[in-house]
Amino acid sequence: MISWITGSCEANGVQIHYRRTGGDKPPLLLLHGLLGNGACWTPLARALERDYDVVMPDARGHGRSSAPLHGYRYEDHAGDVIALIQRLELSAPILLGHSMGGMTAAVAASLAGKLVRGVVLADPTFLSPQRQREVYDSDVAEQHRRLLSQDQGEVLAQLRSRHTRRSPELVELIASARLQTRMSAFDVLIPPNPDYHRLVRAIAVPILLVIGDAGVVSLETARELQRLNSHLRVELVPDAGHGVHYDQPERFQAVVQPFLRSVVAASPSASSSPNEYPVPLAEDYLLHDLVWRQNALPMTALAQEVGLFERLQDQPATIEAVAALLDVTARAAEMMVAVAAALGFLEALGDGRFGLTAVGRTYLLPSSPFAYGPFLSADHPTLDKLRRAFLAGEPSQPFAVNMENLSIV
């Protein structure tokens, strides 16, 4: 570790401290969880530094990074990550995050598109609203407040008795990280978290979800997420809890390394295409949701009106085939399919084709006794605009669509 680089740079308005193994290799950004810091990744970074330029930042409020009074939402953490990528000029890094860092990686990847080339989520904080509230209402912050009044020897003794299977080096790193975590960092626990279903659906690059058999994310939830995104793979590490990479470091490396190699092999060139644009650091969820509510219903109504769902009832089709079937432009077909898929009415089958989901089949086919057809036929000024634009063959792009992550952007 002596030869590793340490540094600090301003990113998203805060000073982010980082460690970096360096070298002309594919960049890998490791994001720790609440109560951790970048140094906690030392054992894993040591195993990966031969093949990757491993970057280990301290999140805001942790380690040696600055601790603003406010700004600890996941969107703030993700903005830090994207800004750090830009400041360090990391070319299409892979993100690997644990717990809080896993959720941060998911948010960052959903915003950054293919400015990152892959994501590893190690038991991220994909919690139900009820569980979020339970964690926030617990005494976890008060426990940390009491810990900060202890010296390192006391904290070390407690951690050694609790984690007998973890290496002495790792326990010391965790103890130091906890004592460097400021109370303000616990604001990340304030509900609500970002909707992890929406995040996973929006990520357009390969995803590896690694969970323990006694962690936060259940195997059932993992399988559900696989159905939302065909790019997602799941690995279950036995005899591991929430700290899956701490509890079973060798097994964790064994499932992560093949994924990393496959992602690098699939994208040999990390250069950006001329059509890629800088990622804004400010979060746009409020405006996104406003535009979404305004346009999702009329776009679905238009798709129903032109027979999109009926056409896909028996045979899935590509965008080009949909355009031919409906006699509209490829852009119009692309936008209708993207919105319907983002809403969960259609699903990407992984071969360029789209088919009806159970929800679409149940509620959007006129032959279904549960069809919502009459409720979608009301007049709407945006629907009239879409009719004129799409059916005249001149889409005016009332909003943009990213087909790779099936979301309105």
Residues 311 and 317 sit within 8 Å (Cβ to Cβ): yes
Q: CATH 3.40.50.1820 occupies which residues in the chain?
A: 5-266
Q: Is the pLDDT of residue 218 over 90?
A: yes
Structure tokens at 392: 């005249």
For the chain, the three-class secondary structure string (H helix, E strand, C coil) is CCCCEEEEEEECCEEEEEEECCCCCCEEEEECCCCCCHHHHHHHHHHHCCCCEEEEECCCCCCCCCCCCCCCCHHHHHHHHHHHHHHCCCCCCEEEEECHHHHHHHHHHHHHHHHCCEEEEECCCCCCHHHHHHHHHCCHHHHHHHHCCCCHHHHHHHHHHHCCCCCHHHHHHHHHHHHCCCHHHHHHHCCCCCCHHHHHHHCCCCEEEEEEEECCCCHHHHHHHHHHCCCEEEEEEEEEECCHHHHCHHHHHHHHHHHHHHHHHHCCCCCCCCCCCCCCCCCCHHHHHHHHHHHHHHHHHHHHHCCHHHHCCCCCEEHHHHHHHHCCCHHHHHHHHHHHHHCCCEEECCCCEEEECHHHHHHCCCCCCCCCHHHHCCCCHHHHHHHHHHHCCCCCCCCCEECCCCEEC
Q: Which of 220-234, 333-347, 358-372, 389-403 has maximum average pLDDT?
A: 220-234
Q: Is the pLDDT of residue 24 over 60?
A: yes
113 pLDDT band, cuts 50/70/90, is: confident
| Angle value at C-alpha 199, between 131 and 118, nearest 5 degrees | 120
Higher pLDDT pick, 145 / 373? 145
Domain at 285-408: CATH architecture: Orthogonal Bundle (1.10)
Q: CATH 1.10.10.10 occupies which residues in the chain?
A: 285-408
pLDDT of residue 394: 46
pLDDT of residue 377: 60
Residue type, 125: T
Closest CA relative to residue 201, chosen from 342, 336, 335, 340: 342
User: What separation, in Å, do the N-terminal and C-terminal C-alpha atoms of the chain show?
Assistant: 42
Taking the C-alpha atoms of residue 334 and residue 318, their distance in angstroms, rounded to an integer, is 9
340 pLDDT band, cuts 50/70/90, is: confident
Q: List pLDDT tens digits, range 252-276.
A: 999 999 999 999 998 755 444 444 4
Mean local confidence (pLDDT), 179-190 = 97
Residues 216 and 78 sit within 8 Å (Cβ to Cβ): no
Residues 300 and 345 sit within 8 Å (Cβ to Cβ): yes
Q: List pLDDT tens digits, range 136-151.
A: 999 999 999 999 999 9
C-alpha distances (whole Å) from 222 to each of 211, 215, 318, 409 are: 8, 12, 27, 26
Q: Is the pLDDT of residue 308 over 50?
A: yes
| Angle value at C-alpha 110, between 45 and 67, nearest 5 degrees | 60
Q: Is the pLDDT of residue 188 over 90?
A: yes
Taking the C-alpha atoms of residue 179 and residue 181, their distance in angstroms, rounded to an integer, is 6
Q: List pLDDT tens digits, range 25-74.
A: 999 999 999 999 999 999 999 999 999 999 999 999 999 999 999 999 99
Mean local confidence (pLDDT), 288-293 = 55
Mean pLDDT of the chain: 86
Q: Which residue has the tokens 């010391």?
A: 172
Burial class (CB in 10 A: 0-12, 13-18, 19+), 91: middle
Q: Is the pLDDT of residue 240 over 90?
A: yes
Q: Is the pLDDT of residue 217 over 60?
A: yes
CATH number 1.10.630.10 given to 5-266: no
